[in-house]
Structure 1
Amino acid sequence: MGTIAFIATFGGLLFGYDTGVINGAVNPMKIDLGLTPMTQGFAVSILIFGAALGAAVCGRISDVSGRRYTILMLSGIFIVGTLGEAISPNWQVLSAFRFILGLAVGGASTTVPVYLAEVAPTERRGSLVTRNEIMIVSGQFAAFIINAVIMNIWGDYPGIWRYMLVIGVLPAFALLIGMLRVPESPRWLTEQNRRDDALDVLKQIRSPERARAEIADVDALVEEKQESRCGQWSDLTVPWVRRLIIIGAVLGIFQQFTGINAIMYYGTQLLENSGFSNNGAVIANTLNGLFSVLGITVGILLINKIDRRKMLIGGFFLIAFFHVLVGLSAMFMPDVAIKPYLVLIFVVAFVFSMQGTLGPLVWLMLSEIFPLKIRSFAMGICVFVLWLANAIVAFGFPPVVAALGVGPTFFMFSAISVLGLIFTLAVVPETRGKSLEAFESQIRDRFA
């Protein structure tokens, strides 16, 4: 089981690497391809628009063709997209291949967790699915380190960004080769009336006795899945359902508009604008990756010990506070030697606070607040909105910083975080310590 999870989470690793590698690659890319702030934002954000489409489409593909086949297909798209962007002669071709790569990123973001949940034993499901989130931030961290090494060895070569990008093809091949050796989801096989095949798979990853006992659970899960497909657009006419979907979508927007992915995509540029040298900024940016991993690890440890609302409120407060400090440092501190290091400290503190609270918590709440009947449907809407918000930040950050400067941009992020705090206080429900059925009944009775 551990081997299967390790192979499948290469999809999460690729997700992280392909979204993080642009951080160090964008400066030499900008010089080599003559990017403006607008075309730079487009070339970076087009991957996220592709991910939104990939996330929306791949759920259906995996339902029809199987989880394993879909991940195999995505590994091929990862390979094509990575090789294509690395050899792109101009920003237009680069953007086209980054859109293709985004399809794989979005598809992996939905298919890999589903595959892990369906092959994992019940008692290990939470830890194995969460492992994918850790692999995502680990992929970003790995990208930052690789960027720093390459930049400091071959930084004078104008096409160095191509080598940064092409390294992502290695885990893509690992995913392709590895998925050829793992079984299909037993739950999906049962859905296809292939119960004997499902039992054979369970016998490969469980003891024979456990496999025979668990096939009954798989049958129950399939029945549950059939019920979950009942969600449709007409459900939006039900007031309490519509309210929950709006809450989930707005939480996703606030999570992205904290600016976390502005740091993941443009952290090197931000630090360079704050006073670091080009090479120094690439090296310093690795701390953002490190504290992203540390933050999400702490968040996962705390997530079942602190009420959801309290964790959200604390997260929004800390994020707003550190954004103000970044803005004040960037705008009002004279250009002395310590300035870039203070900016770095406050940015790292923001990354740690964000990944320790809103990062994993919003995804958890999206899985908790929706009733079974509309869960897949509602999650699809909210994740699509979340990806679009991510894309808006990726596209808008370079031109906004060029027009307003670093300080005012982070004051805007701080104001948005304060709005998120107010939104949480006003309308976000508490889900910790409640069964999904009890929570559904409570919300329905309150807002019906």
Structure 2
Amino acid sequence: MSGREYFIMSTHKETASIEKKDNATVSLHDNHTPEVTDLNIKLANPLAGLSHEQLMDDGKQFAESHGLSDLTLEFQKGALVAQDPLAFESLPLLDEDDKNALRREITHKWDQPKVLYYLVALCSMAAAVQGMDESVINGANIFFPTQLGIDPNTEDGNASRNQWLLGLVNSAPYLCCAVLGCWLTDPLNKLFGRRGTIFITGLFSFLTCIWQGVTNSWQHLFVARFVLGLGIGPKSSTVPVYAAECAPPAIRGALVMMWQTWTAFGIMIGTVMDLAFYRVSDVPGITGLNWRLMLGSAGVPALFIIAQVFFCPESPRWYLTKGRYRDAYNSLARLRHKPIQAARDLYYIHVLLEAEKDISVGRNRFLDLFTVPRNRRATLASSVVMFMQQFCGALIASWGFGMLNWLFALPAIWTIDTFGRRFLLLTTFPLMAIFLLMTGFAFYIPAESDGQIAVVALGIYLFVIAYSPGEGPVPFTYSAEAFPLYVRDIGMSYATAMLWFFNFVIAITFPRLLGAFKPQGAFGCVFGFFAALFFVPETKALSLEELDQVFSVPTHTHASYQLKAVPHFIKRYIFRMEIPDLPPLYKHEGSIGAKTYLPSGAGPVYALDWCKTTPPGQQRTRSAFRLGIGSFCENYQNRIAIIGLQDERVLVEDDYTDYPDFVTLCEAPHNYPVTSLQWQPASAASFAWTQRAGTSELLATTGDALRIWDYVGDGQAAMSNYVGRQATSTGHSLSMKTALSGVRSAFFLGVQAILSVPQQQSKGQNQSNGAPITNFSWNEKMPSLIVTASIDTTCTVWNIDTSTAVTQLIAHDREVYDVAWLPGSTDIFVSVGADGSLRAFDLRSLEHSTILYETPAPKNVPPPSSTPSTTARPPTSPLLRIAFNPSDSNYMSTFHMDGNDIQILDMRSPGQPVMELKAHHAQINGLGWGTADHPLLASAGDDCQVLLWDLANYTTNGTSPHPSAGSRLNSPRPDIKKKVITEPVMAYTAPSQVTNLAWSPLIPGFAMNAAQTTATGEWLAIASGKSIKALKV
């Protein structure tokens, strides 16, 4: 059994049923979201959809083309692991040492090389230098304004002027950061690398701190502090990125959080330095020695940064951008325990960089921050949290209590991912407002009273305690994750520049505001609460695709929803009123999305289907959650298996994370690749075979022949006349009843019965064996009938009760790829094939077929000549799959081989599709309709996307595409114009390409309770690589 993987794909179960979904839900997202999501998909996993052979070839080519031939095997292993880091157990190329290293990486994530922790110490010290640069000025403010002639409390009429000048001097570094420093980050990093940039900024910090200590005028001090901004701005943008690029993914988030934590520590140390030098007296020739030492002290830790930075490895990503692949590998080898980890990470960084190059062509990333709605909302949210970090009054709290700021920032390492960013902001802003009010109004207490100092100190203590776990660490973390990957660097630079700009505004205006409004006006936390409420969505524990959904919701929609949420919260949690939950704002809210199964075999899973019936005496829930799966390998090592979930609560409960994953119930070998697998229809219980089998169920597979299997579930008696049964300790067993092919029908495994039927001979085909079968359809109304499609251009109708072929039709000019019975009919079926046509057959009239649709002729191809010619017919695009809409069987869906569009056809209007669905970005591999009550169309393909389409929301010329059922082939419909649909209602991104899918059925009579009679119809199974995922919709 595989480890758990959970994905979110669903609406909440309390929302309206799927076919009656509110149109507002579908229209929540802007039209740019698919484009941004596609970019994120390319960057989220560029290796998705590649086969193991392609990955190994690519790993070998990567090593040989970049001077790493001696490490070819390591990069082949690394490429395989990079595609799916959690699936390494099934990779035969890895030896036990490799697997042990990867296992320990998961179970002991803090077990890292000493070099990495040395690098972490460097980054922490750089953050501490940052904090000291910001805080030492607070103590110096007590002394230097008087000496330099800008005393804000002077009574000579220049108080207002001096307040502005003092603010200008204090804010000079932040002005430089906003207008110059942060924007130098990119060119400095490109030229000198991460280490070089940190060295340069550390050098600026050291020199300018000394410079500040020797100034003798406010103008001179202003220039020195302005240049200090060149040491603050690029460092604040570079160090978190440097740590993130060198750290393994398991601890990357915690290391990024360390920036704010150790900046708070530096603020505390700066305060300690202010206290240490507060009472230093002047010496002959030096006036104001105390404040000069305060300002100069921040330069001392910068010397340690300068001295040790080049002992740390350079960022491997930077080496790759310079084409220095050997250096990049050596750097990662120092930062990882084993070569396979270094090779995996280096290879993956390489493919990410290549994807970024492709994406950046023709795009202006800075303009995309404001012109793409999804990016614009992320920019707005990041600006709000950066703005409020300064305007909430934090500068007041930094007057002398940096220690509390640091200590109470430490718990945020755990709370920020446990409770969420938005929760921390909305919880701490009201508390900060209360404590600042207490601090401000304490100044009404007479100054000569000892009570004033006590109340002010207490208010500031409490303020810092509220600030440190909320508005302190959230802005940098939030900004780092809110932007799509392709604009993340420029977005983070913009957010950091906004931070320093607002810091400059606060610093320059605060002395004047304090003089004009007194301390009672020094807070904006109430405004911050409402800004976070209306403009800052939650980003905790969301994937890139889910963040796209969050930030694609228009701002006014988000704000209006929050206006409803506030009174709802008060009624429910304060007044304890029994009221229903609000409908979810985002599509991903509600249930956990996926259960995962990883077969023990090496082959990829292709065929799959849900069990549709329940034998007497069995729990319906267990049977309803069983899947038949089959592998597709171009050799004879294929297998079929029955898997299931033994805990029926997964069907009806929203949160089932603690319930077991899929387990294998039984399995059997299948000598030919499994092209299709289906369980008997729900109505099969009334037919002969199932009656003979008593309590068993039937399963059919195709490959070289049509095979019928007998499945006996837990607690059922095995049939004594079946041989070759594969049983497990659970009591489940699977045996083959018969195998039918185009040339003979035989009860295999000891049952001797061979029935010959006529067969169309394909060129070069062995006469003694039937042609491979590509797909089949089991008749739901008469389950004894199965129709198969074959590569020999024929369709064969079988009676499995008598093990005979009813008829065989030459269906197409070339291979037939799929076939489907018309719902409710025992006479009509349709087929598609390599000749690009969709044809309908009526068993009551076998002389001809009806062509419902043909692939249009390729453009710029001349029409065929009327005179005889030996010229080959123009190539056509084969049709690969066909499926009927169960709620209205007039409608069918199909797609072309290697195509990424879906055609919706109406049997009453042959020749022209009525709808075309266009959203996939690579070839489609499978599609399927949901149940008649929930007729969503699901499609999936090589772009790793599973898309759900609700076609009931669209009309064509004022007519619903789902009129009353019952119209058939001979009911013409007026010609209608094709409608192109580009927006699915839901999307799910798999870790690799999706080869097939299957909806769970609604089992008649199934009920957990009166309110949950159709729970099983909400699941979609997909085959993705070697794994099966069951998605709760």
TM-score, L = length of structure 1? 0.88
Among 100, 109, 131, which residue is 2:227 paired with?
Answer: 100
Report the CA distance shift for 1:91/1:439 in structure 2 as closer, same or farther (over 3 A).
same
* AA in 1 matched with 2:166: Q
1:83 matched residue in structure 2: 210
Map 1:265-276 to 2 at 5 A: 267=399
* AA in 2 matched with 1:48: Y
Q: Are the counterparts in 2 of residues 292 and 352 from structure 1 also a CA contact under 8 Å?
A: yes
Alpha-carbon distance in structure 2 between the residues aligned to 1:10 and 1:345? 30
Alpha-carbon distance in structure 1 between the residues aligned to 2:295 and 2:128? 14
1:13 matched residue in structure 2: 128
How far did 1:121 drift? 2.1
Among 317, 323, 327, which residue is 1:193 paired with?
Answer: 323
Among 420, 431, 447, which residue is 2:539 paired with?
Answer: 431
How far did 1:340 drift? 0.7
1:392 matched residue in structure 2: 505
Q: Are the counterparts in 2 of residues 203 and 211 from structure 1 also a CA contact under 8 Å?
A: yes
Structure with greater proportional strand content: 2
Indicate the RMSD between aligned Cα atoms, in angstroms.
2.2
Alpha-carbon distance in structure 2 between the residues aligned to 1:129 and 1:368? 11
2:378 matched residue in structure 1: 244
* AA in 1 matched with 2:366: Q
Report the CA distance shift for 1:419/1:77 in structure 2 as closer, same or farther (over 3 A).
same
SS of the counterpart of 1:356?
Answer: coil
Deviations 1:151-209 (A, max 9, x none): 13548963311111112221111111111322211111012111111011122232342
Instruction: Please say if 1:174 is aligned against 2:304.
Output: yes
SS of the counterpart of 2:408?
Answer: helix
Among 463, 470, 473, which residue is 1:350 paired with?
Answer: 463
Bigger-Rg structure (1/2): 2
Instruction: Please say if 1:64 is aligned against 2:200.
Output: no
Alpha-carbon distance in structure 2 between the residues aligned to 1:443 and 1:206? 35
Deviations 1:210-265 (A, max 9, x none): 3233322332443465478552315522333323312221222122100212443x
Q: Are the counterparts in 2 of residues 369 and 440 from structure 1 also a CA contact under 8 Å?
A: no
How far did 1:43 drift? 0.9
Alpha-carbon distance in structure 2 between the residues aligned to 1:9 and 1:224? 32
SS of the counterpart of 2:301?
Answer: helix
Among 396, 399, 402, which residue is 2:515 paired with?
Answer: 402
Alpha-carbon distance in structure 2 between the residues aligned to 1:228 and 1:2? 34
Report the CA distance shift for 1:202/1:258 in structure 2 as closer, same or farther (over 3 A).
same
Report the CA distance shift for 1:427/1:124 in structure 2 as closer, same or farther (over 3 A).
closer
Which deviates the most, 194-203 or 63-72?
Answer: 63-72
Q: Are the counterparts in 2 of residues 117 and 129 from structure 1 also a CA contact under 8 Å?
A: yes
Among 141, 154, 163, which residue is 1:37 paired with?
Answer: 163
Report the CA distance shift for 1:442/1:313 in structure 2 as closer, same or farther (over 3 A).
closer
Q: Are the counterparts in 2 of residues 32 and 158 from structure 1 also a CA contact under 8 Å?
A: yes
Q: Are the counterparts in 2 of residues 228 and 372 from structure 1 also a CA contact under 8 Å?
A: no
Q: Are the counterparts in 2 of residues 58 and 110 from structure 1 also a CA contact under 8 Å?
A: yes
Map 1:217-236 to 2 at 5 A: 217-223=348-354, 226=357, 230=363, 231-236=365-370
Alpha-carbon distance in structure 2 between the residues aligned to 1:196 and 1:438? 36
Where does the alignment leave 5 or more consecutive residues of structure 1 unmatched?
Answer: 268-284
Which deviates the most, 193-202 or 377-386?
Answer: 377-386
Alpha-carbon distance in structure 2 between the residues aligned to 1:317 and 1:186? 43
* AA in 2 matched with 1:152: R
How far did 1:434 drift? 1.9
SS of the counterpart of 1:110?
Answer: helix
2:422 matched residue in structure 1: 309
* AA in 2 matched with 1:100: V
Alpha-carbon distance in structure 2 between the residues aligned to 1:228 and 1:116? 25
* AA in 2 matched with 1:119: C
Instruction: Please say if 1:324 is aligned against 2:458.
Output: no
SS of the counterpart of 1:429?
Answer: coil
How far did 1:42 drift? 1.1
Report the CA distance shift for 1:440/1:14 in structure 2 as closer, same or farther (over 3 A).
same
Map 1:407-422 to 2 at 5 A: 407=520, 409-410=521-522, 413=523, 416-422=524-530
Deviations 1:268-313 (A, max 9, x none): xxxxxxxxxxxxxxxxx2xx11110022112222111113322111
Alpha-carbon distance in structure 2 between the residues aligned to 1:135 and 1:248? 21
1:124 matched residue in structure 2: 251
How far did 1:61 drift? 1.6
Q: Are the counterparts in 1 of residues 237 and 496 from structure 2 also a CA contact under 8 Å?
A: no
SS of the counterpart of 2:169?
Answer: helix
Alpha-carbon distance in structure 1 between the residues aligned to 2:452 and 2:355? 56
Among 247, 257, 260, which residue is 2:394 paired with?
Answer: 260
1:213 matched residue in structure 2: 344
Alpha-carbon distance in structure 1 between the residues aligned to 2:547 and 2:312? 37
SS of the counterpart of 1:47?
Answer: helix
Percent sequence identity is 27
SS of the counterpart of 2:489?
Answer: helix
Which deviates the most, 438-447 or 83-92?
Answer: 438-447
Q: Are the counterparts in 2 of residues 227 and 372 from structure 1 also a CA contact under 8 Å?
A: no
Alpha-carbon distance in structure 1 between the residues aligned to 2:394 and 2:249? 32
Alpha-carbon distance in structure 1 between the residues aligned to 2:332 and 2:214? 43
Alpha-carbon distance in structure 1 between the residues aligned to 2:213 and 2:393? 27
Among 264, 268, 275, which residue is 1:137 paired with?
Answer: 264
How far did 1:8 drift? 3.2
Which deviates the most, 213-222 or 350-359?
Answer: 213-222
Report the CA distance shift for 1:78/1:244 in structure 2 as closer, same or farther (over 3 A).
same
* AA in 2 matched with 1:260: A
Map 1:144-183 to 2 at 5 A: 144-154=271-281, 158-183=288-313
Alpha-carbon distance in structure 1 between the residues aligned to 2:479 and 2:335? 29
Alpha-carbon distance in structure 1 between the residues aligned to 2:335 and 2:315? 11
Alpha-carbon distance in structure 1 between the residues aligned to 2:465 and 2:291? 27
TM-score, L = length of structure 2? 0.39
Where does the alignment leave 5 or more consecutive residues of structure 2 unmatched?
Answer: 1-115, 151-161, 556-982, 984-1033
Alpha-carbon distance in structure 2 between the residues aligned to 1:446 and 1:185? 38
Which deviates the most, 121-130 or 298-307?
Answer: 121-130
How far did 1:126 drift? 2.2
Which deviates the most, 191-200 or 292-301?
Answer: 292-301
Q: Are the counterparts in 1 of residues 422 and 532 from structure 2 also a CA contact under 8 Å?
A: yes
Report the CA distance shift for 1:74/1:224 in structure 2 as closer, same or farther (over 3 A).
farther
Among 160, 170, 175, which residue is 1:49 paired with?
Answer: 175
Which deviates the most, 229-238 or 109-118?
Answer: 229-238
Report the CA distance shift for 1:333/1:100 in structure 2 as closer, same or farther (over 3 A).
same
Q: Are the counterparts in 2 of residues 67 and 185 from structure 1 also a CA contact under 8 Å?
A: yes
Report the CA distance shift for 1:116/1:164 in structure 2 as closer, same or farther (over 3 A).
same
Among 404, 419, 433, which residue is 1:291 paired with?
Answer: 404
Alpha-carbon distance in structure 1 between the residues aligned to 2:366 and 2:277? 49
Structure with greater proportional helix content: 1
Alpha-carbon distance in structure 2 between the residues aligned to 1:227 and 1:175? 36
Report the CA distance shift for 1:84/1:199 in structure 2 as closer, same or farther (over 3 A).
same
Q: Which has the higher contact order (CA 8 A, sep 6+)?
A: 1
Report the CA distance shift for 1:102/1:431 in structure 2 as closer, same or farther (over 3 A).
same
Q: Are the counterparts in 2 of residues 228 and 376 from structure 1 also a CA contact under 8 Å?
A: no
Q: Are the counterparts in 2 of residues 228 and 375 from structure 1 also a CA contact under 8 Å?
A: no
How far did 1:417 drift? 1.6
